[in-house]
Structures are given as structure tokens and as C-alpha cells.
Structure 1
Amino acid sequence: MSVAGFFKGLAKGILGFLLGVCIILLIMSLSLSQFTNHDSIKPQMVDILSSSVGSNMSIGEENFSSFKEMAAFACTGQETIELPSQDMPITLNCAEIQNLQSAEQFKTYMYGQIFDKMYYYNYNCTDIIQCFRQNQTASFAGGPFVLMSKTANDSFAKYTIYSLIALIVICILLLLFKPFSASLKGIGISATIVGLATFGMPSIKKLALQKVPAESQTVISPVLNSLFEILKKNFMICLIIGAAILAAGIILGIALKEKSKGKEKKKK
């Protein structure tokens, strides 16, 4: 093997490795971006907050019917009222309170407002990594809720774009190597191998749930189920795309070989 051939093979190997890494990073960042989307995460977080925030609020949870009546009374002549909290004040809209028909609806609404306050909280950092480095995690209701914030969602969306750009660049570099069909097959194989992780999601989720304290299983399980369903779906998409690219590379390779054989026969 020539020196040029050695370095060419080494470059393809490194690019192949980076391709797999970029695919994984893209899937993870995209999944986390989808998971931390406000409308996606809010229902699960409302459930978590309803079971954990009570100790941090100046009012308890045992009688939401009375709380609803108290809130409605406090709203007399007011557009909004402020719900006191040890961590941050929560603003409730009086018009919305008046439209609530039951104590359960009031409970859901109140914790929804708490979540919104938490989700859009200003963490004084522009990136989730920076937030942790600066310890700007806002221990609201006893946890690093920056992970479930708009800041986190924006960060994961940004990482998704970076990963996608890197992936496109690496794919272009790989496709520059000849033969084109072989490079196409290499890309397809990498994507297919990464995509096979979709079948391991149930086992990984089971291991993750085992790390959750028994008393928190009921609350945390729906959140983890949601996250792993998103991961499973995205890895499955990767598997399908990878298989399609691999098939295209194989078909193209066969077609090129047949074309080459045809030319050789004509020469003879």
C-alpha cells in the first residue's frame, strides 16, 4: 500500500468514526429539543410539580376546592393575583380562574402557571452548559429545573443545528472519495448501525427506571417514557434512512459494475 493510499484510508476511517458520532449527537440533541418543547413537557411537569411543590408553597394541596374559592374571592376587582412562593411569585389570571369549573381544573391551572414561570425563568445564561458552569440552575422546588426550561430547549435546538451542519460536511467529504457507491454504502452502514439502538431503548429505559427511587416511580415514569419514546422514534428514522442509503449504494455499485462489464465486452 502506498503512503497516499494509507492516508486516504486513515482519513476515511476517521471521517467514518466522526460520522457515527455526529449522527448520535444529532439524534440526542434533536430528541432532547423535542422533549423539552413547552407543549410536550408541560403535562408531565405539571404532574411532577403537583406532587412535589406543595411543601414549597404557602398553601397546601389538601383542599383545592377552598383554594379555588379563596382565589376567586381575591380576584374581586383584580385582573391578576399573586400566589406567594418561597422560590418565586406565581401570577394567576383572574379571568381564567373564573372560567375554571372544578377544583381539579384549578389545581392543574395553578401548577401549569408554576411550570410556565419555571420554564421561562431568566437563568442569566445563554446556554445550558454555561448555566451549569455558573451554577445558574435555579433550584426551584428542589431541583435543577434549568433542564426543563426554554434555555435548555434553545440550547438543544442549537446543538441540533450544529450537529446537522457537521454531519452534512462529513457526508460531503466522504462522498468525495471514489468510488462514490462505496462511500454511499459506508454512510448507510454507519446510519444503520446507529439506528439499531432503537431496539435497545426498552432495556435502557428499564435500567434508567431502576435508578429512580421507588417513591418517585409513579411521577418520573411518564416523563422517562415520553423521552425514550422520542429517542426510539428518532433512532428508528435513522435506521430507515440508513438502510435506504445503504440499499442505494449497493444498487448503484451493482449498476456501475454491470456498466463496466458492458464496456469491457464491447472492447473485446
Structure 2
Amino acid sequence: MAGILSSHAAEAVPVDERIECFYLPSSSKGPDGRSYERKVSGKLGDKRTAALSDILVDFCTAQPGPRGVRPSTLERIRDDLEPGRRRLLLLVGNYQEAKLAHRKLVELRPEWAGHQIMHMVPDDDRGTHHWDHGSLARSRVSTLASHQDVWILITPMLAIERGHNILNDDHVAALGAALYLVRPHLHPEDLGYHIESMNRWGVDQIRTGMPAAGLPDAPMGERAEVFQRIAHRRWADRLEEPLRYALTGPLEC
């Protein structure tokens, strides 16, 4: 599956109108003739690579139409963006997948090779990534707009974060749309989700009069002990829960 996140340039536009999210599945027919949606997440090894390649084939292949050949999905998304921001960010799972996706796109669309696609590589002490054709070091990602013909950047999800100011000559976001080719998920050892969840629970408790602390007319010391005990138990339960989307509530997804 793939997701698209695009943004209008005008800051005056409300957030719910400025950022548009779409679910754009990549479908195929199985041996039984039934249509199914391709999925990368949850697969390993060759099966994962094949699934990612199939999505790229679907998205970068020109489509026949009644009036001739139609541009590919990636090209149509690009052309619908505002001038100066017609660049796509393709998000994958890791640096190796970014490089494999780059190679696959060049294989499928040789005319894009050379100066239209780049993939991110990690920073290292040797600087060997600078010799890799079509690569862009993570610390140099802000220079993307200086590569005039590049309109596709492929990066791992965890390598792109707030603070990466990828701007064009007009000092607005150079990237017009982001496509999630894999499902975003937290690192299994990252406690950030659990901490934010506890913080949200604590704020909700304060706003509603601390119902977890027991009766409101009980002594403050007793209420504090009850609240501390419940909070500690909730924190321990959170740490034992596996991070799976199936366990998240409708407001947490």
C-alpha cells in the first residue's frame, strides 16, 4: 500500500485544508483472479523486496487510455503540485530499500536516470557516499532544491524529521508530496510513544478532575497515593504491550 501526504504553500489556509491525506492502494490480481492490495509491511527478505518493486512498477508505469498513453501515477501527482514544489518524497523502511527503490525506478524508467531521482544515504566518516551516483547525504538533504532536475527523493522514514528545512528559492517547502510506500511504525525500543501516551492520560486526568485518584472529597494525600499507584500500574502495562496497530484505538492511529 502507499499513502500520499501533500501540502498547500499558503500558511493562511487552515491545517485541515493545507494538508491533504489520501489512501492510494496498489492493487493486483491473484492466481484466483481476485483483486488484492499489495503490502510491503510485515514481509521480510525477498518477499518484501518483491512487494516494494511491484508497487513501484504500478506507480511509475505509463497507463494506456482512450486518448493515448497517460502519464504514470507519480508523474500525475507531480504535475498536480504547485510550481516550484513539484517534487516527491518516497518513504521506505531503510537506506538499503532506498537504494533498491532507486535502482528499480531507473530500470523501469531509464529516461529518469541521471538527474531526476536521488536517494538518501547516511553520513559517515569516510564520505564514500559522495561517490555514489544519484545519492544525497542525510546532512545535505536541505540542498535538494539546488538539484534542478531532481523531482524524486527516496529516503527511510526515520531519516526525515522536523528540522530538515528542504526549501526552494521562494523559501517554501520544496517537496510537494510524500508517499509512504511502507507503513509508518515506531522503533520497538523507542519509548517515545509510551511516554506521550502517559502524558496524554495525565493531562486528561487533570482536565476531568483526577477521577483515577478516587473520591474528590478524600484527603489529598490518599488521592495522591491512589493516583501514583494507578499511574505506575498503567506505565508497567504499557511497557509490556507490543507495539501493534491492531491494539491502538481509533484516535491513536
The TM-score range, normalised by the shorter chain, is: under 0.3
Greater per-residue strand proportion: 2
Bigger-Rg structure (1/2)? 1
Q: TM-score if structure 2 supplies the norm length?
A: 0.27
Relative contact order (alpha carbons < 8 A, sep ≥ 6): 1 or 2 greater?
1
Q: TM-score if structure 1 supplies the norm length?
A: 0.26
